[in-house]
A and B are shown apart, each in its own frame.
Chain A
């Protein structure tokens, strides 16, 4: 067979299939490392387009006000300014309100509870609802000039007293904050035990009623948000620091009324941290895209730190009123929780309330025979909350761990003892909270606790703490436990209650020289996913890792997918399927049966074990794509495919939901 010789045929570098060990430190494969360690990372603020203009937003200086008038004349006349936009300007071309403008921004009506999210426009029309809310946008030659001009926008406000207390917001006297919401409650849900507790609480040896409040906070990444947009030849390209580029593409196409086929969203190769902060679609993103369409030139907005901290997303901010019953040994018998979550203005996608829902509906690592949480999400005049690490769980963990410590103190037992008494011991464990859908399937909580105490030298350190406290230092040791939910991959809940595709998918494509690319619609934010994906693929496929290139975040290259870690693990499935395709071609060329078990592939060489015949990926791929006539009739000349894991979703979707509802809003 005539195959062009190549100097590129991989030498034995990188891990072989089933042999991930790497001997020499200098050969460590790190696809993310080289660029990041030499200042060559490629982040949003590094995207530079010819003729690019810059955007600055004017933000609300007040938490609640009616907008009486906005005057942009002086700003528009300011040096270097090309365009000034306000809410009413945008409203003329985009009359539909968010979040309902796009199914990926608001929860499906199939959700178990109705989400009562307020409507909003890309920029406010006649009222502002939180400090830092963007009111107007200026496009200018550079950011200095854009910010100068933004200062010249004159707004007349009619200030109103902001509602900052979530309890007040929900109380009878609470002033209604949004015209199109019935009250101020964005979500109400009851989770956990269905049956009534009877006399469980009254008969309990120890009854504790406590209020635990966790303040509002936020975990911003070091890189702020940024958006670059270009509208050219009726196509819109948007670079964005978004954790979910595929979802952003859908949302932008819906909001701007452009077919999705003309919208490309690209999350840069490097995103400077995410932590959930970069998960929602911020209104600014759509404003920037809209402005690119108006001015006909590329535009960019790089958020500054002050904007980031003011506008959020923020997180936590919950009040847990717990009524708990314990027996005399510290074993918890029952727990009733009244939870108020301050979700801020909620003027962002449904993640504003999803985080609070996670907080109240996910089981704890403790065996609580009777448990019920009643969640009420209050809108207030603060920045919207969202999913921010650890994805809504923190206030719940805080409350329950405080409860454990308070109960231990009452019973004069140690913080360790009370946790040992309550940690789940037998698996799978089905909690009334979460039920079958989020069971704790297997673990060893007691063993883990034990290991922790040993590694931490718990007893010893308790002594050290005493000494330190005696010297006036305010130090202490606390224990806390948490079940971190694994990704609801393939979960029907995700499909119906947040309208996201609950499957992962990547495209793998082998080229005629035997190298291959992985195209993923995920947008890694520092998890080394490029390296991980390449390594998993190299191992499963038997490829040399240096022949694999991982492309992320580009919606044009990659299939629709859920984001997050699922996208890494789907590489294993994808690589196996690609390996089957490669072996099929190889077996034909070798004239041997296509029995995969008879083949061994390592470092880009496929060997048929029974007779020792071998071929390189290059020989196989070259034939498959450049000489397809050598293959059986009807062979498709490619070694590629989108590879998906979605079997569970499909099965459960078909079983649990009538077909009609899957596409209706």
Chain B
């Protein structure tokens, strides 16, 4: 890493691997991963609802594990694999099984929490917990939805689990 200490905004060279693509960038070490993904890489799927680790709207997968990008510094993620909601939800025109289940079960309204919900839902389904409502509840406990309520979201995840290939 090279550091430039001339001014308050220092920059550090990092390579971020996001959705299978490597990005060589120089970022201020105090920048949150969320800001870098949204503002520098235009991956605006993740949302900032609280910027203090409470709402889950900013969730991404780092090396396959759910992580809050608002509390993660971009420089910390050097050498990891980051996946965002854009990557998980294949193509925009045709929602996959999880998307379809979200529509069928009315599991979103304003959609602001939805990216975080989808990231966590993927994780739950990949772990093969999609048919256990209690486990789903436990996993979703860090994702706040202010509009929809949680039952429809749980219903959607359970429904999607029937077609899910567990990893």
Binding site for B on A (CB under 8 A): 25-26, 28, 30, 32-41, 43, 45-46, 48, 79-80, 142, 144-145, 148, 219-224, 270-275, 302, 304-306, 525-528
Q: A34-B93, A45-B38, A79-B9 are in contact. Are A39 and B115 (CB under 8 A)?
A: yes
Least CB separation from B38: chain A residue: A45
In angstroms, Cα B93 to Cα A33, docked, is 10
In angstroms, Cα B111 to Cα A271, docked, is 8
The answer to whether A528 and B47 have CB atoms under 8 Å apart is: no
In angstroms, Cα B39 to Cα A40, docked, is 15
The answer to whether B48 and A272 have CB atoms under 8 Å apart is: no
Contacts of B145 in A (CB 8 A): 222
The answer to whether B51 and A304 have CB atoms under 8 Å apart is: yes
The answer to whether A223 and B47 have CB atoms under 8 Å apart is: yes
Question: Shortest distance in angstroms between A76's beta carbon and chain B's nearest beta carbon?
Answer: 15
Contacts of B115 in A (CB 8 A): 39
Question: Shortest distance in angstroms between B18's beta carbon and chain A's nearest beta carbon?
Answer: 13
Q: Which of A38, A224, A306 contacts B99 (CB 8 A)?
A: A38
The answer to whether A272 and B110 have CB atoms under 8 Å apart is: yes
Most chain B CB neighbours (cut-off 10 Å) among A36, A40, A46, A145: A36
Given contacts A41-B112, A220-B146, A526-B109, 14 further A-B contacts (CB under 8 A): A28-B103, A36-B114, A37-B95, A38-B91, A39-B43, A39-B44, A45-B47, A222-B57, A223-B47, A223-B49, A270-B111, A270-B112, A271-B110, A526-B147
Question: Shortest distance in angstroms between B146's beta carbon and chain A's nearest beta carbon?
Answer: 4
Least CB separation from B146: chain A residue: A222
In angstroms, Cα B115 to Cα A660, docked, is 53
For the complex of A and B, 8 pairs with smallest distance between CB atoms: A39-B45, A526-B110, A272-B112, A36-B111, A526-B109, A39-B85, A38-B89, A37-B99
The answer to whether B52 and A222 have CB atoms under 8 Å apart is: no
Binary per-residue interface labels of chain B (62-102) against chain A in the complex, 1 for a CB within 8 Å, 0 otherwise = 00000000000000000000001110011111010011101
Contacts of B112 in A (CB 8 A): 41, 43, 221-223, 270, 272-273, 526
Contacts of B54 in A (CB 8 A): 305
The answer to whether B8 and A39 have CB atoms under 8 Å apart is: no
Binary per-residue interface labels of chain B (24-60) against chain A in the complex, 1 for a CB within 8 Å, 0 otherwise = 0000101100000011001111111111101101000
User: Does B154 sit at the interface, judged by CB under 8 A?
Assistant: no
The answer to whether A43 and B47 have CB atoms under 8 Å apart is: yes
The answer to whether A38 and B8 have CB atoms under 8 Å apart is: no
Q: Count B interface residues, CB 8 Å.
A: 50
Least CB separation from B42: chain A residue: A48
Contacts of B42 in A (CB 8 A): 48
User: Does B125 sit at the interface, judged by CB under 8 A?
Assistant: no
Contacts of B147 in A (CB 8 A): 221-222, 273, 526
In angstroms, Cα B51 to Cα A34, docked, is 26
Question: Shortest distance in angstroms between A324's beta carbon and chain B's nearest beta carbon?
Answer: 35
Contacts of B91 in A (CB 8 A): 38
In angstroms, Cα B103 to Cα A618, docked, is 31
In angstroms, Cα B110 to Cα A144, docked, is 28
In angstroms, Cα B110 to Cα A224, docked, is 13
The answer to whether A39 and B46 have CB atoms under 8 Å apart is: yes
Question: Shortest distance in angstroms between A335's beta carbon and chain B's nearest beta carbon?
Answer: 34
Q: A39-B46, A39-B115, A46-B44 are in contact. Are A222 and B144 (CB under 8 A)?
A: yes
Contacts of A33 in B (CB 8 A): 95, 99, 102-103, 108
Binding site for A on B (CB under 8 A): 7-9, 28, 30-31, 38-39, 42-52, 54-55, 57, 84-86, 89-93, 95, 98-100, 102-104, 108-115, 118, 144-147
Q: A38-B86, A144-B28 are in contact. Are A221 and B110 (CB under 8 A)?
A: yes
Question: Shortest distance in angstroms between A219's beta carbon and chain B's nearest beta carbon?
Answer: 8
The answer to whether B104 and A28 have CB atoms under 8 Å apart is: yes
Contacts of A219 in B (CB 8 A): 146
Q: Which of B46, B51, B93, B104 contacts A25 (CB 8 A)?
A: B104
Question: Shortest distance in angstroms between A39's beta carbon and chain B's nearest beta carbon?
Answer: 2
Question: Shortest distance in angstroms between B5's beta carbon and chain A's nearest beta carbon?
Answer: 13
Least CB separation from B92: chain A residue: A38
Least CB separation from A33: chain B residue: B103
20 contacts between A and B (CB under 8 A): A28-B104, A30-B103, A34-B99, A37-B108, A38-B90, A39-B84, A39-B115, A40-B92, A45-B44, A79-B7, A79-B9, A144-B9, A145-B8, A221-B147, A222-B113, A222-B147, A223-B112, A270-B112, A305-B51, A526-B111
Least CB separation from B84: chain A residue: A39
Least CB separation from B106: chain A residue: A528
Q: Which of B43, B46, B102, B109 contacts A37 (CB 8 A)?
A: B102
Contacts of A273 in B (CB 8 A): 109-110, 112, 146-147
Q: A28-B103, A33-B103, A305-B50 are in contact. Are A38 and B43 (CB under 8 A)?
A: no
The answer to whether B49 and A222 have CB atoms under 8 Å apart is: yes
Q: A45-B47, A45-B48, A222-B145 are in contact. Are A37 and B103 (CB under 8 A)?
A: yes
Contacts of B86 in A (CB 8 A): 38-40
The answer to whether A26 and B44 have CB atoms under 8 Å apart is: no
Most chain A CB neighbours (cut-off 10 Å) among B55, B93, B102, B110: B110
Contacts of A25 in B (CB 8 A): 100, 104
Question: Shortest distance in angstroms between B22's beta carbon and chain A's nearest beta carbon?
Answer: 20
The answer to whether A272 and B111 have CB atoms under 8 Å apart is: yes
Contacts of A274 in B (CB 8 A): 110
The answer to whether B45 and A32 have CB atoms under 8 Å apart is: no
Contacts of B99 in A (CB 8 A): 33-34, 37-38
The answer to whether A37 and B118 have CB atoms under 8 Å apart is: yes
In angstroms, Cα B8 to Cα A351, docked, is 43
Contacts of A48 in B (CB 8 A): 39, 42
Contacts of A302 in B (CB 8 A): 48
In angstroms, Cα B132 to Cα A49, docked, is 45
Question: Shortest distance in angstroms between B112's beta carbon and chain A's nearest beta carbon?
Answer: 3
In angstroms, Cα B145 to Cα A39, docked, is 16
In angstroms, Cα B46 to Cα A28, docked, is 26
Question: Shortest distance in angstroms between A311's beta carbon and chain B's nearest beta carbon?
Answer: 16
Least CB separation from B95: chain A residue: A37
In angstroms, Cα B102 to Cα A37, docked, is 8
In angstroms, Cα B125 to Cα A421, docked, is 51
Question: Shortest distance in angstroms between B114's beta carbon and chain A's nearest beta carbon?
Answer: 6
In angstroms, Cα B100 to Cα A33, docked, is 9
The answer to whether A305 and B49 have CB atoms under 8 Å apart is: yes
Question: Shortest distance in angstroms between B150's beta carbon and chain A's nearest beta carbon?
Answer: 13
In angstroms, Cα B110 to Cα A275, docked, is 11
Contacts of A28 in B (CB 8 A): 103-104
Question: Shortest distance in angstroms between A240's beta carbon and chain B's nearest beta carbon?
Answer: 16
